[in-house]
Amino acid sequence: MRKSQFLMAFLSAACLSAASASAQTLTVGLDADPPKLDPALSTALVDRQVMNQIFDKLVDLDVNLKVVPALATSWKVSNGGLTYTFKLKSGVKFTDGTVLDAAAVKYGLDRNRTLEGSARKNEMSSIKEVKVIDAQTVQLNLSQSYGPLLAVLTDRAGMIVSPTAAKKAGADFQNNPVGSGPFTFVSRVRQDNITLNANKSYWGGAPKIDKLIYRPFTDGDVRYANLLSGAVQAITPIDPKDISKLEQNAKFSVLNYPGIGFQGVWFNVTRAPFNNKNFRQAVAATIDREAIAKSIFYGTVTPAAGPFPPGTPAASSAITVQKPNIALAKQKLGGKPLTFTLLTTPGSVTTQLAQVYQAMFAQAGITAKIEQVEFGTLLDRADKQDYDALMLGWSGRPDPDGNIYDFFVTDGTNNQAGYSNKTVDSLLAKARAQTAMTARAATYNVALSTIISDTPYTWVYFQRNLVASVKGLTGLKPIPDGIIRFKDVDLK
C-alpha cells in the first residue's frame, strides 16, 4: 500500500469514529500502542500516558518538578532517613468500589516491589517493610537511606491498584486495570484504541472530559494528518518537521518544553559482536550528534554526553559530548570487519535516524542492517537481550538515580545491555545512600565516566516534550516528565 493510501485508510476510519463522538470526547494520538497497563510491569513511556489517568499515586510532580501531595496529603521523614510516614486522603475509593485506605496502599506498594517480573523491584529495593499504622496512615521502613524515594513514588512505583481487581485478574490485570484516578478503563483493541470514561465520583472533582480515547499511530505523518483532519484533538509527540507548520496554523497550539530523558543506542554485551568493547567504542565514535540534532530534529533536541540533561541536578560540565572520530573508530576495529543488525521501530523519524546511523557507521567500514519491529516487540526483545544493537531511550525521571541506576547496575530491570561492572555497582549503591544531592551527583558522575568508557550504551540526544492540540483544548500543563494529565483539561 502506498503512503497516500495508508493515510487515507487511517483518516477514513478515524473520521467515522470522530463523527459519532460527543463534544466531550477527546481523542489523543500516540506514537505507539501501550504494551502493559500495569504499574508493576510497565517499562514504556507510552504506558505511563494512559496509566496516569487510571491510577492515583502517593505523590506527584508539578511543572517545576517539585514533589506535591496526591493520595498522600503529607509525609514525614524520620529515623535518620529510614522511615517515611504518609498521611492519606480519607473517603477515596477505587472505581470498582473498593476502599482506598492504608491497607490498599500497602498492597499496591508490596505488589510493585515483589510481583514476579515487576520492573519496580530495583527502584523499591531499599524498602524493607510497608506497615499500616491506621486506616489513613502508612509507613515505609527502609533497610538503608534512599535519597530518590519520593521522586520514585511520583511514578509507577507510587501508583496504587485496586487489591480486589488485581487479585481477581491476576496476570491479566494489565488488560483490565483498575485504579482510583480521574478516568476509568473501559476497553482496548490492540493497535487501534484504548477507551477511558470519566470517573464522575473522583475525589478531586470530576474531569471536564467525558470520554478519553487513545489511538496509536507509529507514523508521524499519520498522527499529523489525523490532527489536521479533526479525527484527533491532540498528538504526542510531533515530528520535528511539523512543528513550525503547526505553530503558524491558527487552528492549533503547540507545547514545546524541556524534557528530562535521553535517546541513544544500546549494545548487547552478552554476545558477539558487542561483547567486544572496542567494537562498541568504534560504533559510538562514528556518530555525529550535532549533525543529527540539526538535520533530523531541526534543532529541537540537544546533543547528549550522558543520561543527565542540562539543568538537572546531576548534569556535569566535565562530561562532554563525544565528537565523531572516524580515525578512532577504525583504530578500535583493528582491521576487523564489523557487521550487525540495528533494531528499531517503524515511523518516519526513527526510520530516517536509523538510516543516518547506518551511513555514519559506514564511514568507518561498519555495516549495519536495519530491522524494524513493533514497539512492544522491541521492548520484549530488549528485555530478553535478543538483539545486536537497538535504538531506545528513556523518558527521564526527576531524580538522577532514575536515569542511571536501573540501566547499568548488574541485573537491573532496564539493563538491556546485560552490562555488569562491580565498581559501577558499588558507586551506584553509594550514591543512592547519600542524602546531599551534591554528593550524590558527584558519585553518579564518577560511575558515569566508567560506563562511558565501557560503552554498553551511547547517548545521542536529549529530547523535548512536543505536544500539539486543537485551539479549543485548554488546561494542558508542561510538566517535564512528559506525561499529560487530563483531569483538568477541557475541550471547547
- CA-derived radius of gyration, the chain: 22
Q: Is the pLDDT assigned to residue 9 strictly greater than 80?
A: no
313 and 401 within one domain: yes
Of 130, 165, 200, which one is at a domain's C-terminal end?
Answer: 165
In a domain, 133, yes or no: yes
CB 236 within 8 A of CB 32: no
Which residues are registered as beta bridge partners of 185?
A: 196
- Cell 510497565, located at residue: 42
Residue 20 confidence (pLDDT): 40
Cα separations in angstroms, 443 against 140, 415, 430, 435: 26, 19, 7, 12
In a domain, 202, yes or no: yes
Residue 435 confidence (pLDDT): 86
Return the CATH number at 150: 3.90.76.10
Looking at residues 194-214, what average pLDDT do you find?
Answer: 97
H/E element, 5: helix 3-20
Return the CATH number at 437: 3.10.105.10
pLDDT band (50, 70, 90) for residue 1: very low
In a domain, 172, yes or no: no
Q: At what angle do helices 220-229 and 3-20 cross, to 10 degrees?
A: 40
430 and 328 within one domain: yes
Most distant pair of Cα atoms in the chain: their distance: 69
Picking from 173, 251, 204, 210, the residue whose alpha carbon sits closest to that of residue 70 is 204
Residue 13 confidence (pLDDT): 47
351 and 253 within one domain: no
217 and 144 within one domain: no
Q: What's the pTM value of the predicted model, to 2 decimals?
A: 0.88
In a domain, 91, yes or no: yes
The overall average pLDDT reported for the chain is 94
325 and 438 within one domain: yes
Q: Cβ of 139: how many Cβ atoms within 10 Å?
A: 17
Question: How many domains are there within the chain?
Answer: 3
Which residues are registered as beta bridge partners of 77?
A: 84
Helix or strand or coil: residue 274?
Answer: coil
284 and 233 within one domain: no
pLDDT band (50, 70, 90) for residue 292: very high
279 and 230 within one domain: no
Contacts of 300 (CB under 8 A, 6+ apart): 240, 243, 256, 463, 464, 466
pLDDT band (50, 70, 90) for residue 16: very low
d(CA 241, CA 256): 13
235 and 189 within one domain: yes
CB 478 within 8 A of CB 63: yes
In a domain, 41, yes or no: no
Which residues are registered as beta bridge partners of 253?
A: 469
Picking from 244, 243, 224, the residue whose alpha carbon sits closest to that of residue 234 is 224
In a domain, 36, yes or no: no
Instruction: Kindly give the pairing relationship between strand 183-189 and strand 193-198.
Output: antiparallel
CB 487 within 8 A of CB 182: yes
448 and 345 within one domain: yes
241 and 279 within one domain: no
In a domain, 171, yes or no: no
d(CA 427, CA 401): 12
Higher pLDDT, 50 or 7: 50
Does residue 207 have a cis peptide bond before it, meaning omega lies within 30 degrees of 0? Answer: no
**Residue 124 has what DSSP assignment?**
G
Which residues are registered as beta bridge partners of 254?
A: 468
Q: Which residues of 334-346 are buried (b: 16+ CB within 10 A; e: fewer)?
A: eeeebebebbbbe
pLDDT band (50, 70, 90) for residue 438: very high
317 and 433 within one domain: yes
Residue 12 confidence (pLDDT): 44
Contacts of 249 (CB under 8 A, 6+ apart): none
Return the CATH number at 251: 3.40.190.10
The dihedrals phi and psi of 59, each to the nearest 5 degrees, come to -140, 165
Give per-residue pLDDT as tens, 47-69. Answer: 999 999 999 999 999 999 999 99
419 and 349 within one domain: yes
In a domain, 174, yes or no: no
Count, in order, helices (H) and strands (E) of the chain.
15, 21
Range(s) of the domain holding residue 215:
3-31+182-257+465-491
Instruction: Kindly give the pairing relationship between strand 211-216 and strand 193-198.
Output: antiparallel
Ramachandran region, residue 251 (left: φ > 0; alpha: ψ -120 to 50; beta: rest): alpha
Looking at residues 348-367, what average pLDDT do you find?
Answer: 97
- Cell 536509523, located at residue: 354
Looking at residues 23-32, what average pLDDT do you find?
Answer: 92
3-state DSSP of 130-181: EEEEECCEEEEEECCCCCCHHHHCCCHHHECCCHHHHHHHHHHHHHCCCCCC
Quick one: what percent of the chain has pLDDT higher than 70? Answer: 95
Looking at residues 323-349, what average pLDDT do you find?
Answer: 97
pLDDT band (50, 70, 90) for residue 289: very high
Give per-residue pLDDT as tens, 242-268. Answer: 999 999 999 999 999 999 999 999 999
Looking at residues 32-41, what average pLDDT do you find?
Answer: 97
